[in-house]
């Protein structure tokens, strides 16, 4: 059996402060009780607990730490960073992200990623001089990069807080329960996924930064899942009856490179015969089989075919779409000429069921995740053996899974990309009436003012992305409609009842539809940063989130704190996407 000392070193390998504690056989004792997180037995006490270490959780923890507060941050996998790391999703961003389209802290992160490549990677001299270096040169983003680089940047940024004991990071820990007193959460129970041990975190304020809004469920906080009824949201595209089990597909991503003189064909996946003939049952109808280079165009829903040829890596098509390594950016011989492609395509969107929600048991969720991994492996095998090449042949056996870039043995991402979460019932809910271009045109048709998204006076951040919903488990094909650069209202972060719980991921007060534009990397970051800043502000002012929402002076003071951090609360741009 692994000793306590060895296990602690294993779990906290990058934490210098934790190593010191481990050497004294007291892994949870931190210095200066009352100032730093403290522990007694299996219970840790801190000011702010961030449950979930993804993009929003990281941004929230960093904001709270920079405000001088003590934080415990948990993460289900062994990598913090969520979409950017364990889910392996290159950042999807707005056209203005390099200038006016993101918070200063997010832009700092992007600069740090580029700096990391320039200091640690064998770039060509030309690439090293590029101020807006895009290591993968993928068409989806101005900064397609390896998940490991995002992990390195995030870990390095947090190291100083771990070292001085202000932050405890509990990786491989999943929230399994919560205790409440009235309208407050008192503790959250965690299970160590490596050892099975349980720990308790007690905090003044909790941020739910889990990918699926788990803390809302565990604490009994009011929340919603799936597609709301039109009578509730007033959204023209909503159904007549609520569909709580109708969720966007989730996806297990993977990375590929191409070695033309080698054969890297994987063993035939157990479910390949099912997936190679699988046809999604959607309305409007899908184009045919899921494993195909043809798919439904997200906006028009007409059949659209993209090329796939790893020997022509710069050709517009599936290979370049989310490429994370462009061999031409690095010294000759560093990578195969194909570079590395990250696969997050319609072909590996999983539709047969959900990971949470009405009637979904833990066994159901485990089975759906297992089948989603089979779908992704089946896509790999299909590309290696069955896809029709431009020369008329079939398959690319030289395609090689690069699980080493994702930290896994099977070649797939550590965690599925979750597009839609449980969403807290909050004091304000953003609907398409506030952000959708056509809805806004109808509302402002008689007005002389420019057509913009709702100019929320209580804005705590900004975002811009089309309302982009992938096919859903309830049988909807793509829903992809134009939206306007939007704001994140404070009211969407304040639960209707709970007084010390804040959403810090995709679980804020949005609908199934508006989740489609509030779910991307810089917006999730902005949600988390606002939540972490608000938590620290509440501790400073001995206030609660609903009081900041209600009281004009508190609210104005909070906005000044946000602005001093470089949080953008309003847009300079008004062009629709």
pLDDT(432) > 70? yes
Q: Are strands 423-424 and 223-224 parallel, antiparallel or unpaired?
A: antiparallel
Q: What is the pLDDT of residue 327?
A: 95
Q: How far apart are CA 280 and CA 383, in angstroms?
A: 19
Q: Provide the CB-side half-sphere exposure for 353 (13 A, CA).
A: 18
pLDDT-derived band at 36 (thresholds 50, 70, 90) equals low
% of the chain exceeding 90 in pLDDT: 87
pLDDT-derived band at 92 (thresholds 50, 70, 90) equals confident
Q: What is the pLDDT of residue 234?
A: 95
CB 465 within 8 A of CB 298: no
241 DSSP assignment = S
- The contacts of residue 132 (CB under 8 Å, 6+ apart) are 98, 114, 142
Tell me what the pLDDT averaged over the chain comes to.
91
pLDDT(335) > 60? yes
- Helix/strand/coil (H/E/C) assignment for every residue in 37-97: CEEECCEEEEEEEEECCCHHHHHHHHHHHHCCCCEEEEECCCCCCHHHCCCCCCCCCCCCC
Q: Which of 51-55, 303-307, 449-453, 559-563 has the lowest mean pLDDT?
A: 449-453
Domain positions in the chain are 31-135+146-236+421-577, 250-405
Helices (H), 136-276: 147-163, 214-219, 230-233, 272-275
Q: How far apart are CA 192 and CA 219, in angstroms?
A: 19
C-alpha 455: how far from chain center: 26
Mean pLDDT of 203-216: 97
pLDDT(523) > 90? yes
Mean pLDDT of 44-70: 97
CB 302 within 8 A of CB 478: no
Report the top-level CATH class of 31-135+146-236+421-577: alpha beta
Mean pLDDT of 71-81: 97
Cα distances (Å, whole numbers) of residue 494 to 6, 211, 359, 498, 535: 42, 18, 27, 8, 11
pTM: 0.90
Q: What is the pLDDT of residue 93?
A: 87
Report the phi/psi class of residue 297: left, alpha or beta, with left for phi > 0 and alpha for psi in -120 to 50. beta
pLDDT-derived band at 38 (thresholds 50, 70, 90) equals low
Burial label, 159 (beta-carbon count in 10 A; 0-12, 13-18, 19+): middle
- The contacts of residue 231 (CB under 8 Å, 6+ apart) are 240
Q: Residue 538: beta bridge partners? A: none
570 DSSP assignment = S
Tell me: the pLDDT tens digits for 360-405? 999 999 999 999 999 999 999 999 999 999 999 999 999 999 999 9
CB 451 within 8 A of CB 440: yes
Q: What is the pLDDT of residue 26?
A: 29
pLDDT-derived band at 447 (thresholds 50, 70, 90) equals low
Neighbours of 123 (CB within 10 A): 19
Tell me: the pLDDT tens digits for 158-192? 999 999 999 999 999 999 999 999 999 999 999 99
pLDDT(507) > 80? yes
Tell me: the pLDDT tens digits for 409-430? 999 999 999 999 999 999 999 9
Q: Which of 91-100, 143-152, 264-273 has the lowest mean pLDDT?
A: 91-100
The CA-to-CA distance between both ends of the chain, in Å, stands at: 56
- 228-253: b (≥16 Cβ within 10 Å) or e: beeeebebebbbeebbbbbbbbbbbb
Q: C-alpha angle 575/457/229, rounded to 5°? A: 75
Q: How far apart are CA 484 and CA 195, in angstroms?
A: 47
Tell me: the pLDDT tens digits for 111-129? 999 999 999 999 999 999 9
């Amino acid at each position: 059996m692994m000793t306590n000392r060895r296990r602690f070193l294993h779990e906290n390998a990058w934490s210098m402060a934790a190593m010191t504690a481990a050497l004294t056989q007291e892994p949870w004792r931190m210095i200066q009780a009352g100032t730093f997180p403290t522990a007694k037995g299996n219970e840790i006490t801190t000011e702010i607990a961030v449950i979930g270490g993804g993009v929003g959780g990281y941004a929230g923890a960093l904001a709270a730490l920079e405000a001088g507060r003590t934080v415990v941050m948990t993460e289900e996998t062994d990598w913090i960073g969520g979409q950017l790391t364990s889910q392996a999703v290159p950042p999807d961003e707005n056209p203005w992200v390099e200038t006016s389209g993101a918070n200063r802290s997010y832009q700092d992160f992007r600069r740090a990623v580029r700096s990391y490549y320039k200091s640690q990677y064998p770039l060509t001299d030309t690439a090293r001089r590029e101020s807006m270096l895009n290591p993968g040169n993928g068409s989806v983003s101005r900064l397609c990069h390896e998940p490991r680089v995002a992990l390195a940047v995030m870990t390095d940024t947090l190291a100083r807080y771990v070292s001085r004991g202000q932050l405890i990071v509990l990786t491989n820990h999943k929230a399994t329960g919560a205790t409440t007193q009235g309208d407050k959460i008192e503790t959250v129970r965690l299970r160590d996924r490596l050892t099975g041990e349980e720990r308790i975190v007690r905090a003044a304020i909790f941020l739910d930064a889990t990918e699926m809004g788990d803390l809302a469920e565990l604490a009994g906080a009011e929340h919603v899942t799936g597609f709301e009824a039109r009578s509730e949201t007033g959204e023209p595209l909503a159904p007549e009856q609520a569909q709580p089990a109708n969720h966007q597909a989730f996806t297990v991503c993977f990375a590929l490179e191409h070695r033309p003189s080698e054969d890297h064909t994987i063993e035939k996946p157990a479910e390949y015969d099912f997936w190679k003939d699988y046809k999604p049952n959607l309305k409007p109808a899908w184009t045919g089989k899921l494993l195909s280079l043809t798919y439904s165009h997200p906006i028009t829903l007409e059949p659209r075919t993209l090329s796939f040829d790893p020997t022509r890596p710069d050709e517009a098509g599936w290979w370049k779409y989310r490429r994370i390594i462009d061999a031409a950016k690095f010294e000759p011989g560093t990578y195969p000429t194909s570079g590395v492609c990250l696969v997050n395509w319609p072909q590996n969107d999983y539709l047969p069921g959900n990971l949470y929600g009405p009637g979904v048991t833990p066994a159901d969720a485990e089975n759906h995740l297992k089948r989603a991994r089979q779908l992704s492996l089946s896509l790999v095998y299909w590309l290696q053996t069955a896809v029709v090449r431009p020369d008329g042949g079939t398959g690319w056996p030289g395609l090689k899974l690069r699980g080493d870039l994702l930290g896994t043995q099977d070649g797939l991402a550590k965690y599925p990309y979750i597009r839609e979460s449980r969403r807290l019932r909050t004091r304000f809910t953003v609907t398409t009436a506030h952000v959708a271009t056509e809805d806004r045109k109808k509302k402002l048709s008689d007005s002389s003012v420019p057509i913009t998204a709702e100019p929320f006076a209580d804005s705590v951040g900004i975002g811009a992305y089309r309302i982009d919903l992938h096919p859903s488990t309830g049988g909807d094909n793509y829903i992809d409609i134009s939206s306007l650069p939007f704001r994140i209202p404070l009211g969407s972060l304040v639960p209707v009842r709970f007084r010390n719980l804040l959403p810090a991921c995709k679980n804020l007060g949005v609908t199934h539809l508006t989740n489609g534009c509030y779910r991307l990397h810089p917006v999730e970051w902005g949600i988390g940063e606002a939540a972490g800043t608000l938590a620290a502000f509440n501790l400073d002012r001995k206030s609660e989130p609903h009081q900041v929402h209600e009281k004009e002076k508190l609210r104005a003071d909070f906005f000044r704190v946000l602005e001093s951090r470089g949080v953008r609360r309003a847009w300079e741009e008004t062009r629709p996407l």
